[in-house]
Structure 1
Amino acid sequence: MVNASRMRDEFLELVRIDSVTLHERRMADVLKAKLESMGIPVYEDNAGEKIGGNAGNLICTVKGERDVPGILLMAHMDTVSPGIGKNPVVEGDIIRTDGTTVLGGDDAAGIECILEALRVISEDGIPHGNIHIAFTVAEEGGLLGAKNMDYGAIDVRYGFVMDDGGDIGSVAVSAPTQNKIDIIVKGKAAHAGVEPEKGISAIQIAAWAISQMRLGRIDHETTANIGIIKGGCATNIICDRVEIEAEARSRSRRKLDEQTSHMRHCFETACARFGGSFKFDVQNVYPEFNVKQDSGIMRILERAAKKAEIELKAGATGGGSDTNIINGRGIEAVDISVGMDKVHSVEEQISIKDMARAAEFLVEIIKAI
């Protein structure tokens, strides 16, 4: 049913399109034309206007004849940087980057699986229920497209997000919630050579606080990281301001709160020790999700995996995706592997066979509703 050669050729077309976050216009236009050529009307929402991008989310519906719950198929149009001038290289079954940019299989592979599944159900006359499709913008920029999507245009019970890696059949059924943490540490400037005693080093405060902090892998559900530190302007000035960007994630909201409080306490203790002050701002970026083993969507996946002769591997992920957002909107959803490998790097690659198998799995999912 699935045409691997067609998928390869179209995937190569898609990854050659520059589509970094907030600059998805060309990708959106190409996908809109492809969908409309299949007879599928496309609606573009105003998410782009809300987030400062040049394109909105593409939303469309394929009406079905079966009286079953509606489903949402979802993938994102943007890529991370370096993503301008992508030049895919084909080596047998593998499509890889040329080493200067990302490949963009994250998430052109997910888009391609959805396009191919739509063609297969049409060409083979496969009966189905209502299928909603959403190609989102700015997923890599903080899930902004999904956060600002027009959900009034979507009436579904289940969501299948094609945006994961690993073996075909791997499905993320649990993912963490994330806190974005911005810290400003304030000290007191003084001449570092003449009167250092009169200064309070914001760098020293920050360094001591971070040295006391639990970071990296906290437990099997929780991680934390200091990602960016900015401060200082000259070696002869006691630094009076340091800006820090950090994060904490956990599949348990209680553990996330505990880790965030711990990180705050480290700065409180450091300021009490050395003087100075700090500002600690926390923004929850996306909610956690945990799909139950006996849920309706798991039964669908089990039936589809059996028909496709694929081993279903339900597990947890440490990353966030549009799946977090739509679960938070009350849509029972999972993130499905499309075979992407070494994503977010200039070594990114994907197997054509894996991508085709992912499309076959998706067709069986549609049939299993």
Structure 2
Amino acid sequence: MINKERILNLFFELVRIDSPSLQEKEVAVCLHKKMEERGYTVTEDKAGELSGGNTGNLIVHVPATGEGTPIAFSAHMDCVHPCHGVEPIVEGDLVRSKGDTVLGGDDKAGIAMAIEALNHLEDESIPHPDVYFVFSICEESGMHGAKNIDTSLLPAKDIIILDSGGKVGSIVVAAPAKAGIMMNFIGKSAHAGIAPEEGVSAIQIAAEAVSKMNLLRIDESTTANLGHIEGGSVTNIVADSVSLTAEARSLHDEVLNKQLEHMESCCADAVKKIGGSYKFEYEISYPALHVPEDSTVLAKVEQACINIGLDPERGPTGGGSDANVLYGKGYNAVTLGIGMSKVHTTDEFIKMESLTRGAELVAEIMKS
């Protein structure tokens, strides 16, 4: 049986440690000590140095006690703001914060489940193959831990990411690629009262372009959103510069490319109509995730669900995670729902049953 008191104590200990993105060192120190005291090999990679953080990813190797293919479990150490001074409380079967911060179950619940699962196997002397833990940094602000991971430290090719909000037993089998977009519109300044006809309003160019764009829900697998707009100065000067940041996501690369082409064509048409110039730039932040139907790690997860009385449920998600990046690096990545709810808000909570059932599922997957 999963030790309910032990996993709750560990979860509370972790969420009480402040760990915004790129500032995860205290959590890393805590986990490094816990794992090293148990005799496991713990290595910190250079991801922190490469991304400007104060610690790297932790990769933990737990030697095999039985037969089987090596397997890895991943959860990230960082949390979104507001995450300083988290004070977790229990209300019935729910664990939440007092209400002025996030809880941090995203993703410290995943860390707690992985460690408690191993505790359970060791308590019961249940054999397992080589197990690796990846405690990653900076997932919330760009997945820079996964992007900069030292893959030589992670020889297991099957990896389970414990970082989705679905109920325990849900399995993410598809997640979209994301493009980060920057649009700059250049006009010409002029005095707005004396000679406005000599100017070209960058704000007007941007407005024309945006008004023609297909945005928000494009289709069942594609979205696009404008996140920030900035430009101009005072009302008596025709604005000569405006910048917009945006994103587009899709489960299908060809559809994402089509959406990007559409958005740029709107910029070009606006300049043709009003004047001025534009620059449209984008970067693919992470690739789409597609778990193959014949994936052996997917089959292993589904069988583990059945073994402990859960109905496995496959499905897509509209968000990205470390799984997208690791999949792009050649790992057989599958993301599990761990029951965290209302994440990224001060109303975030997780059920005690989700903590314990999630740990039970991870333990079942770990078994030889």
Scaled to the shorter chain, the TM-score interval is over 0.9
Aligned residue in 2 for 1:206: 206
Q: Match of 2:109, SS?
A: helix
Aligned-residue identity in percent: 45
Q: 1-side partners of 2:144 and 2:345: how far apart?
A: 22
Structure 2 equivalent of residue 52 of structure 1: 52
The one-letter code sitting in structure 2 at the alignment partner of 1:64 is A
- Note the alpha carbon deviations across 1:297-330, whole angstroms, 9 max, x for none: 1210121011110111111011110001111111
Q: Is the 8 A contact 1:69 1:157 kept in 2?
A: no
Structure 1: gaps spanning 5 or more residues: none
Is contact 1:215-1:225 (8 Å) kept?
yes
CA distance in 1 between partners of 2:283 and 2:360 (Å): 39
Partner of 2:226: 226
Q: What is the DSSP-based 3-state SS (H/G/I as helix, E as strand, rest coil) of the residue aligned with 1:339?
A: coil
Q: Are 2:272 and 1:304 equivalent residues in the alignment?
A: no
1:55 CA drift (Å): 0.5
**Is the contact made by 2:103 and 2:348 (CA closer than 8 Å) also made in structure 1?**
yes
1:11 aligns with 2:11: yes
Moved runs in structure 1, 4+ residues, more than 4 A?
A: none
Amino acid corresponding to residue 164 of structure 2 in structure 1: D
Displacement of 1:66 in angstroms is 3.2
Give the corresponding residue for 1:143: 143
CA distance in 2, matches of 1:149, 1:312: 30
Contact 2:287–2:325 under 8 Å retained in 1: yes
Q: 2:173 touches 2:315 (CA, 8 Å); kept in 1?
A: yes
Contact 2:298 2:334 in 1 (8 A): no
Matched with 2:293 is: 293
Q: Does 1:177 align with 2:174?
A: no
Which residue in the other structure is 2:25 paired with? 25
TM-score by length of 2: 0.98
User: RMSD of aligned C-alpha atoms?
Assistant: 1.1
Separation in 1, partners of 2:100, 2:240: 39
Give 1:313-328 correspondences, 5 Å limit.
313-328=313-328
Instruction: Please report how far the alpha carbon of residue 46 of structure 1 lies from its aligned counterpart in structure 2 after TM superposition.
Output: 1.1
Q: Cα distance, 1:269 vs. partner? A: 0.4
SS in 2 for 1:244: strand
Distance in structure 2 (CA, Å) of the matches to 1:5 and 1:67: 30
- Distance, in Å, in 1 between the alignment partners of 2:316 and 2:43 is 33
Structure 2: 5+ residue stretches without partners:
none
Report the 3-state secondary structure (helix = DSSP H, G, I; strand = E; otherwise coil) of the residue aligned with 2:163. strand
Rounded to whole Å, the distance in 2 between the matches of 1:332 and 1:119 is: 25
Contact in 2 for aligned 1:300/1:365 (Cα 8 Å): yes
Offset, 1:45: 0.8
- 1:335 aligns with 335
State the 1:334 CA deviation: 0.8
User: AA paired with 2:191?
Assistant: H
Match of 1:109 in 2: 109
Q: Match of 1:364?
A: 364
Letter in 2 for 1:288: A
User: Following TM superposition, by how much is the alpha carbon of 1:245 offset from its aligned partner in structure 2, in angstroms?
Assistant: 0.5
Q: Which residue does 2:84 correspond to in 1?
A: 84
Give the aligned partner of residue 34 of structure 2.
34
Partner SS, residue 234 of structure 1: coil
1:89, distance to aligned residue in structure 2 (A): 2.4
Name the residue aligned to 1:249. Answer: 249
Structure 1: distance between partners of 2:132 and 2:244: 41
Corresponding residue for 1:274?
274
1:205 to partner: Cα distance: 0.8
CA offsets 1:162-181 (integer angstroms, 9 cap, x no match): 00112111111111111110
Aligned match of 1:123: 123
Counterpart-to-counterpart distance in 2, 1:280 and 1:247? 12
**Whole-angstrom distance in 2 between the partners of 1:220 and 1:97:** 34
Instruction: Give the partner amino acid of 2:99.
Output: G
Shift of 1:98: 2.1
1:64 equivalent in structure 2 = 64
For the residue of structure 1 that corresponds to 2:90, the secondary structure is strand
Q: Name the CA distance, whole Å, in 1 between partners of 2:297 and 2:344.
A: 29
Query: How far is the alpha carbon of 1:261 from its aligned partner?
Result: 0.5
1:99 partner amino acid:
G
* Deviations 1:202-243, CA, capped at 9 Å, x for gaps: 111111111110111111111100001011111111111111
CA distance in structure 2 between the aligned counterparts of 1:180 and 1:228, rounded to whole angstroms:
12
Q: Distance in 2 between matches of 1:12 and 1:61?
A: 24
Distance in 2, Cα, partners of 1:334 & 1:52: 28
In the alignment, which residue of structure 2 is the partner of 1:193?
193
Q: Aligned pair count?
A: 368
Provide the rounded CA distance (Å) in 2 between the counterparts of 1:341 and 1:108.
13
Match of 2:351 in 1: 351
Residues in 2 aligned to 1:66 and 1:7: alpha-carbon distance in whole angstroms: 25
